[in-house]
C-alpha cells in the first residue's frame, strides 16, 4: 500500500529519475515509496491500516527475500502477530497505540530477547557458540521499543559477536547487499541494514562499536545512527568492547531516526554507563535549517584512497550546506591515521575480556571430551569449536596486548592515543564547528570474499568511523549519492559527527542534506 | 614495541586465550596477528609524554547502586540453559589434571 508521504520535491523527484542517472536496480525495479515509521504509525493509529496487516506484509517480504539475501536468522511470526493484535485491540478500545504503535521492527541478533521460561527465539550473536542460546531476559532497548508499541518481527544476521565490517564473519553465512547480491552490505550490523534497505521493515536496531551501524547504512543507502556513548542502554546487548559499544537505529529517513531515538534514549539503572539526561524530542527542530551553522570538513577525509564517488559526495554535500547558508571550514583531525591502530588494540583487549565468559559450562556450546581430558580442555576445545576465525584472532590479539610485559607498550599506549583522538574532535568543536562532515567508508560496497583473507584490509574499512567510538561521540550516516564500480551503480554514505549529546542538532543538519539531495528515496527493493 | 609473533608466542597466547589451536592454524594466525601488530607499531611515532590514558569516552567514574535486593532469574532457568546439569549443580569435568593432588 502507498501512503501519502511528507516528502520534499527533491525526494519525490528521486522516484521518477531515469535509470541512466540513478542506480541500475537489478535486484528490483524502482519501487513506489514504502511507508516510513511515522507514516505507518499514523496510518495504524488512524485505522487506515491495521498493525496485523503491517506485520503480515513485513513477514511476507522477509520470507520472500531471505533466501536470496540471508538477512534474518529467525522470524517470530506467531509472536509478532500476537503483538500486532494487542496494538489493534488497544486502538479499537480508544487507547493510545504508542509512539511506534504497530510498526514492524527487526533486531540485530546480539540483543537479548527472552524470558525466564526460555520460550522466545534464540540470541546467537552470529556465532556457533551461541547457536542454541535462548536468553532468560530482554535487553532494555528492545523492551523500550515494545513498550512503545513496536512489533519485533525477527532477529538479523551479523558478523559473529559484531566483529567485522562486511557481514561475512557470520557462522550462518554472509548477508548480501540488496543493491547487488554479489557484494557485502557492510557490517557488523549486516542483516539489520539490509532489512531496511530491502524494504522489509522501516526500522531496525544495530550496534556500533567501530562503525557497525554507520558503515552498512552507507553501503545500503539508508540512515544509520550511533548515538553518544551512554545515550542508549547496553543492558542485554551481548558485550563486545564495552567502552565503545552503542545501540542505534537504522531507518530510511532522518525523521524516523529521531522517532526511534525518542523511544530508545534514556537512563537505565541496569547499565552503569547509561547517561542521566533530561528527555528530549529529537525531531522537534528537524526542519529548522542550517543557516549560520559551521560544518567542519576534516582534511583527513579527503584521502587519495577514497573512491572518486566518495570524494564527489563530500564535495556535493559541502556545496549543499553552503547553498543553505552554512559555513564550511577545513579542520584538522591529526590523529586520524592512528585511529585504526589504537582501535585494534583497545577493541580486541576489551573483547578478549568480555568473551572470557564463554566457557562451555553455564550456557552455549560445550565440546565433547576424550577420556582423561579435564576442565582446561573443556574451555579450550569448546571455545575453539564455537568461535569463528575472526573472533579467535581478536581474542588472541587482545590477550597478547594485555599480557604481562606487553600491557604498557600496547594497551596503555592505545589509551593515550584515544585521548589525543578525542582531543582532535574537541578542538574542532571548540573552533566553532557544529558538526563534522566525512564519508562513512572510503569505497562503495566491495565484493563478497574480496577481503576475507586479509584482516588488516578489512580493518582499514573502518578508517572514518572508529574515531567517533573512541571519542564517544554521536555520528549519523545518511545516503550521500551513488558511484559506479565495475559498471554497477552503488550507494555511498555521508557521515556527520557532532559533540557529545548534541543529537538534536546533528539530526537537523543531516535532515537538510537529506531534504536537498533526496538520495535516500531510491530503494533497492523488488 | 615488541616484535611480531613467532609460532611459540602464538601457542602461548592461544593457551592464555583458552583456544585449542590445531598445529596447522598456528602459522596462519601468526602471519595475520603479526600483520596487525606490525601495523599498530605506528603508534610509536607519537609523542605521548604526559598524556593521561583514557579508558572511558566520557571519563565517567563508577557509580554505586544502593545495596537492595531485587528480582532475579530463577535457578531452574540456569539449569535449563546449561549444556550439562545435575540440578541444582552444573556438571564440570575434573578440575585438576593427572599431576594434581
pLDDT digits 0-9 by tens, A162-195: 999 999 999 999 999 999 999 999 999 999 999 9
Residue B92, chain A, CB below 8 Å: the answer is yes
Question: From CA B46, how far away is CA A468, in angstroms rounded?
Answer: 20
- A18 assigned to active site: no
The sheet carrying A223-226 orders its strands as: A72-75, A151-156, A104-108, A203-207, A247-251, A223-226, A475-485, A488-497, A435-439, A294-298, A327-331
Question: From CA A224, how far away is CA A479, in angstroms rounded?
Answer: 9
Task: Report which of A481, A474, A435 is spatially closest to residue A290, judged by C-alpha positions.
Answer: A435
> CA of A177 to nearest chain B CA: how many angstroms apart?
27
Residue B85, chain A, CB below 8 Å: the answer is no
Residue A292, chain B, CB below 8 Å: the answer is no
Residues 328 through 357 of chain A touching chain B, CB cutoff 8 Å: 335, 337-338, 340-342, 344-345, 352, 356
B77 and A400 within 8 Å at the Cβ level: the answer is no
Contact present, A40 and A122 (Cβ < 8 Å): no
Asked casually if ipTM beats, i.e. exceeds, 0.90, the reply is yes
Q: Each residue of A11-34: pLDDT tens digit?
A: 544 433 333 333 333 333 344 568
Question: From CA A341, how far away is CA B41, in angstroms rounded?
Answer: 8
Residue B43, chain A, CB below 8 Å: the answer is yes
Q: How many CA atoms lie within 13 Å of A489's alpha carbon, on the beta-carbon side?
A: 17
Where is average pLDDT lowest: A215-224, A475-484, B32-41, B53-62?
Answer: B53-62
Map out the domains of chain A as residue ranges.
2-18+36-283
Q: Residues of A with CB below 8 A from B50's CB?
A: none
Element (H, E) at B55: none
Give SS3 for A195.
helix
Residue B8 buriedness (CB in 10 A; 0-12 / 13-18 / 19+): exposed
Maximum pairwise Cα distance, chain B: 57
Question: From CA A317, how far away is CA B27, in angstroms rounded?
Answer: 46
User: How would DSSP label each residue in A200-223?
Assistant: S-SEEEEE-SSSTTHHHHHHHTSE
- A188 assigned to active site: yes
Question: From CA A290, how far away is CA A434, in angstroms rounded?
Answer: 10
Residue A15, chain B, CB below 8 Å: the answer is no
Who among B29, B40, B53 is closest to A396 (CB)? B29
- For B42, the grid coordinates are 605506528
Q: How many CB pairs under 8 A join A and B?
A: 182
Question: From CA A109, how far away is CA A238, in angstroms rounded?
Answer: 9
Can you give the pLDDT at residue A293?
A: 98
Task: Report which of A271, A283, A214 is spatially closest to residue A243, judged by C-alpha positions.
Answer: A271
Q: How many CA atoms lie within 13 Å of A231's alpha carbon, on the beta-carbon side?
A: 31
Q: Which CATH superfamily is domain A2-18+36-283 in?
A: Amidase signature (AS) domain (3.90.1300.10)
A188 upstream amide cis, omega within 30 of 0: yes
Can you give the pLDDT at residue B57?
A: 87
B10 upstream amide cis, omega within 30 of 0: no
Extended beta strands in A199-323, E state: 203-207, 223-226, 247-251, 294-298
Contact present, A209 and A240 (Cβ < 8 Å): yes
Can you give the pLDDT at residue A399?
A: 98
Question: From CA A219, how far away is CA A441, in angstroms rounded?
Answer: 8
Count CB neighbours of A403 within 10 A: 17
Angle of helix A413-430 versus helix A336-354 axis, rounded to 10: 130
- Which residues have C-beta within 8 Å of that of residue A521, sequence separation ≥ 6? A7, A11, A12, A14, A15, A33
Can you give the pLDDT at residue A426?
A: 97
Which of A45, A108, A128, A192 does the annotation list as catalytic?
A: A108
Task: Report which of A56, A136, A122, A38 is spatially closest to residue A362, judged by C-alpha positions.
Answer: A136
Q: Per-residue pLDDT tens, chain A, 526 aa: give them.
A: 334 344 555 554 443 333 333 333 333 334 456 899 999 999 999 999 999 999 999 999 999 999 999 999 999 999 999 999 999 999 999 999 999 999 999 999 999 999 999 999 999 999 999 999 999 999 999 999 999 999 999 999 999 999 999 999 999 999 999 999 999 999 999 999 999 999 999 999 999 999 999 999 999 999 999 999 999 999 999 999 999 999 999 999 999 999 999 999 999 999 989 999 999 999 999 999 999 999 999 999 988 889 999 999 999 999 999 999 999 999 999 999 999 999 999 999 999 999 999 999 999 999 999 998 999 999 999 999 999 999 999 999 999 999 999 999 999 999 999 999 999 999 999 999 999 999 999 999 999 999 988 888 888 889 999 999 999 999 999 999 999 999 899 999 999 999 999 999 999 999 999 999 999 988 875 4
User: pTM above the 0.80 mark?
Assistant: yes
Amino acid at each position: 500500500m502507498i501512503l501519502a508521504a511528507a516528502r520534499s520535491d527533491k525526494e519525490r523527484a528521486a522516484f521518477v529519475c531515469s535509470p541512466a542517472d540513478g542506480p541500475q536496480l537489478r535486484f528490483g525495479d524502482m519501487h513506489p515509496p514504502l511507508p516510513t515509521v511515522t507514516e505507518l504509525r499514523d496510518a495504524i493509529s488512524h485505522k487506515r491500516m491495521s498493525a496485523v496487516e503491517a506485520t503480515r506484509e513485513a513477514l511476507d517480504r522477509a520470507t520472500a527475500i531471505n533466501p536470496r539475501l540471508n538477512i534474518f536468522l529467525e522470524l517470530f511470526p506467531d509472536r509478532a502477530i500476537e503483538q500486532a493484535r494487542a496494538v489493534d485491540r488497544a486502538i479499537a478500545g480508544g487507547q493510545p497505540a504508542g509512539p511506534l504503535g504497530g510498526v514492524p521492527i527487526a533486531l540485530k541478533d546480539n540483543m537479548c530477547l527472552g524470558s525466564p521460561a526460555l520460550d522466545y527465539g534464540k540470541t546467537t550473536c552470529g556465532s556457533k557458540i551461541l547457536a542454541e542460546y535462548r536468553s532468560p531476559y530482554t535487553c532494555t532497548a528492545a523492551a523500550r521499543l515494545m513498550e512503545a508499541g513496536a512489533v519485533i518481527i525477527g532477529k538479523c544476521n551479523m558478523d559473529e559477536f559484531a566483529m567485522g565490517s562486511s557481514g561475512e564473519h557470520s557462522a550462518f553465512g554472509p548477508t548480501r547487499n540488496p543493491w547487488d547480491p554479489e557484494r557485502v552490505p557492510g557490517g557488523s550490523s549486516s542483516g539489520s541494514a539490509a532489512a531496511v534497505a530491502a524494504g522489509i521493515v522501516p526500522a531496525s536496531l544495530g550496534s556500533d562499536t567501530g562503525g557497525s551501524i554507520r558503515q552498512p547504512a552507507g553501503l545500503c543507502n539508508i540512515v544509520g545512527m550511533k548515538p553518544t556513548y551512554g545515550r542508549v542502554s547496553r543492558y542485554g546487548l551481548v558485550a563486545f568492547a564495552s567502552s565503545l559499544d552503542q545501540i542505534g537505529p537504522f531507518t530510511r529517513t532522518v525523521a524516523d531516526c529521531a522517532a526511534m531515538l525518542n523511544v530508545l534514549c534514556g537512563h537505565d539503572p541496569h547499565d552503569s554507563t547509561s547517561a542521566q539526561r533530561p528527555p528530549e524530542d529529537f525531531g522537534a527542530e528537524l526542519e529548522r535549517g542550517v543557516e549560520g551553522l559551521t560544518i567542519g570538513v576534516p582534511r583527513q577525509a579527503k584521502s587519495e584512497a577514497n573512491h572518486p564517488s566518495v570524494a564527489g559526495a563530500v564535495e556535493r554535500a559541502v556545496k549543499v550546506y553552503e547553498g543553505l547558508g552554512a559555513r564550511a571550514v577545513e579542520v584538522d583531525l591529526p590523529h586520524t591515521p592512528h585511529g585504526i591502530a589504537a582501535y585494534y588494540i583497545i577493541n580486541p583487549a576489551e573483547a578478549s575480556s568480555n568473551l572470557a565468559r564463554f566457557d562451555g559450562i553455564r550456557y552455549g556450546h560445550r565440546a565433547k571430551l576424550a577420556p582423561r581430558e579435564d576442565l582446561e580442555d573443556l574451555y579450550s576445545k569448546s571455545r575453539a569449536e564455537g568461535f569463528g576465525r575472526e573472533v579467535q584472532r581478536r581474542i588472541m590479539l587482545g590477550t597478547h596486548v594485555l599480557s604481562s610485559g606487553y600491557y604498557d607498550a600496547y594497551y596503555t599506549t592505545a589509551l593515550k592515543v584515544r585521548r589525543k583522538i578525542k582531543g582532535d574532535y574537541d578542538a574542532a568543536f571548540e573552533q566553532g564547528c557544529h558538526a563534522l562532515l566525512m564519508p562513512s567508508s572510503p569505497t562503495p560496497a566491495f565484493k563478497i570474499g574480496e577481503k576475507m583473507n586479509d584482516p588488516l584490509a578489512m580493518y582499514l574499512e573502518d578508517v572514518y568511523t572508529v574515531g567517533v567510538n573512541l571519542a564517544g561521540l554521536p555520528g549519523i550516516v545518511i545516503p550521500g549519492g551513488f558511484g559506479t564500480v565495475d559498471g554497477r551503480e552503488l550507494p555511498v554514505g555521508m557521515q556527520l559527527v557532532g559533540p557529545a549529546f548534541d543529537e538534536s542538532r546533528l539530526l537537523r543538519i543531516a535532515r537538510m542534506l537529506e531534504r536537498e539531495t533526496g538520495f535516500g528515496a531510491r530503494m533497492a527493493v523488488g | 614495541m615488541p616484535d611480531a609473533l613467532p609460532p611459540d608466542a602464538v601457542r602461548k597466547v592461544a593457551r592464555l586465550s583458552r583456544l585449542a589451536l590445531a598445529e596447522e592454524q598456528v602459522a596462519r594466525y601468526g602471519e595475520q596477528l603479526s600483520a596487525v601488530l606490525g601495523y599498530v607499531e605506528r603508534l610509536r611515532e607519537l609523542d605521548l609524554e604526559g598524556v593521561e590514558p583514557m579508558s572511558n569516552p566520557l571519563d565517567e567514574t563508577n557509580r554505586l547502586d544502593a545495596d537492595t535486593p531485587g528480582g532475579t532469574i530463577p535457578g531452574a532457568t540456569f539449569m535449563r540453559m546449561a549444556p550439562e546439569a545435575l540440578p541444582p549443580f552444573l556438571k564440570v569435568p575434573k578440575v585438576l589434571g593427572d599431576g594434581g593432588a
